Amino acid sequence: MKNLLKTCILMALCLALLLSTCPASAASYGDFAIVTGSGTLNLRQGPGTEFDRLYTAKRNDWVMILGESGNWYQVMVMDNGKVGYMSKNYLSSANESTTGGQTTGVVSNPVATQYLNLRQYPSLSAPVLGIYYNGATFTVLSSVDNWYQVNIYGQTGYFMKNYVTVASPSAQKTAVISAPNSGKTNLRSAPSMTDSTILSQYPNGTKVQVLLEGNKFWRVSVNGKVGYMDKSLLKYSASSATGSTSSGNTGTPAPAQKPATKGYAYVNNPIATQVLNLREQASATSRVIAQYKNGVRFQVISPGEVWTKVYGSATGNVGYMMTKYLTLNGTASTIKTIQNGNTYVNFRSAPSVSASTVYARLYTGTPITVLTPGDQWTQIRYNGQTGYVMTQFLK
């Protein structure tokens, strides 16, 4: 694995040099990023949720960007060298954390499980260019009434101010090197102890500007030189503050809150001695979070005829359960309607805009049956046909 890491890093750095004469994008090949806006993130075999899961990374795990395809990055997980694809919406690139004096921001929804729409122009009726979860970072281009014009992962659009937190470049976090011995601390070229080069060394007490906080390593700037340091050797100074300002939000993003729920459900296995799996995703192959016996009550986030997304108020667990092993109360209906202003939503063969066939146009007010709810795409049944629509257009 060590040789694979070295080979991938060398190839990515060479590619980054070749691309240095090209216009800069939000994240360059050979750049590093951390998982944000989600407790875990799947590494998939291809650029889409329909591809098999290869690995599950944790929040703030480091990856190296090798390429991109649509709204997906091809990445290598730094901890183990696994290569696959991750959604751009859940990655915060190191390149975006160094903005050269520009105002930066982070998506900060008051309800952590919800996403924020990136709009084509500053209006709630504007077309949606993408959806982003808490932790996604961006650069502010301008301010228009209750909206910010932003650049996020190379795409320009508008975010509502009430759902983001922005910070001026002067309001950066400062840490101090505090190693347990009197030796010097290494500034490295990559977030890795073994597969990186030492750029410089600094003694205890040296102040560093923190650009991005990942697991094991932080991306920092020391006297204008940017690299990575072992986070266990750094401590925030007493005067360090985010200095964040926004319209409606101040300081750090809001902590995770209880998700919005609609009714409740009870575990109802056909055999009383059996247990029901609470899974991370709506799939029988997804990681099992916990197991529950008959009679355990859950609050329903999104019901479906095949899978139901639930919340356990006693544990705080959020996940999916097979609906046939649940008893739903009357308020948790699987019938929803299309809502997209005065227009329609495409009913697709797969949960993808680019890799799917459009079965039909479903206009506002059309009733559908939810089979499997999802954060971005929902599997539905319409006129006896099974397919997918974007979740944001279901009410």
**What is the predicted pLDDT for the residue at 22?**
39
Residue 32: what pLDDT?
87
Range(s) within the chain of domains with CATH label 2.30.30.40: 2-97, 104-167, 173-236, 264-328, 335-393
Distance CA 74, CA 147 (A): 31
Give the model's pLDDT for residue 26. Answer: 47
The CATH code that applies to domain 264-328 is 2.30.30.40
Hey, what are 320's tokens? 């999916």
Q: Provide the CATH number for the domain formed by 335-393 in this structure.
A: 2.30.30.40
Global confidence as pTM: 0.48
> 2-97 in CATH: which number?
2.30.30.40
Which pLDDT score, from 0 to 100, does residue 289 have? 84
Q: State the residue for tokens 């228009």.
A: 144
pLDDT reported for residue 324? 93
Tell me, what's the pLDDT at 258? 64
What was the pLDDT predicted at 8? Answer: 57
- For strand 185-188 and strand 198-202, is the pairing parallel, antiparallel, or unpaired? antiparallel
Residues in the chain, overall count: 395
Nearest CA to 345 among 305, 303, 307, 377? 377
User: CA–CA separation, 113 vs 309, rounded Å?
Assistant: 12
- pLDDT tens digits, the chain, 395 residues: what are they? 555 555 555 555 444 444 333 333 445 566 888 887 667 889 999 998 889 999 999 888 999 989 888 888 899 999 899 999 998 877 877 665 544 445 778 888 777 667 888 998 888 888 888 888 877 778 888 777 788 888 887 778 899 988 888 765 545 678 898 887 767 899 999 999 888 899 999 998 898 888 888 889 998 888 878 889 999 898 876 554 444 444 434 333 333 456 777 788 889 988 888 889 998 888 888 888 888 888 888 889 889 999 999 988 767 788 899 999 998 886 678 899 998 888 889 999 988 877 789 999 999 999 999 999 987 789 999 999 999 998 888 88
Task: Return the pLDDT at 257.
Answer: 53
Q: In what order do the strands lie in the sheet with 91-93?
A: 53-58, 40-44, 83-87, 72-77, 62-69, 32-35, 91-93
**Phi/psi-derived region of residue 379, left when phi > 0, alpha when psi is between -120 and 50, beta in every other case:** beta
Token pair in block for residue 342: 């005065």
268-274's contacts with Cβ under 8 Å and 24+ in sequence apart are: 268/294, 268/325, 268/326, 268/327, 269/293, 269/294, 269/325, 270/325
Second CATH level (architecture) for the domain 104-167: Roll (2.30)
The CATH classification of domain 173-236, taken from the options 2.60.120.10, 3.20.20.100, 2.30.30.40, 2.40.30.10: 2.30.30.40
113 is written with which tokens?
Answer: 């499980």
Rounded Cα gap, residues 53 and 285, in angstroms: 9
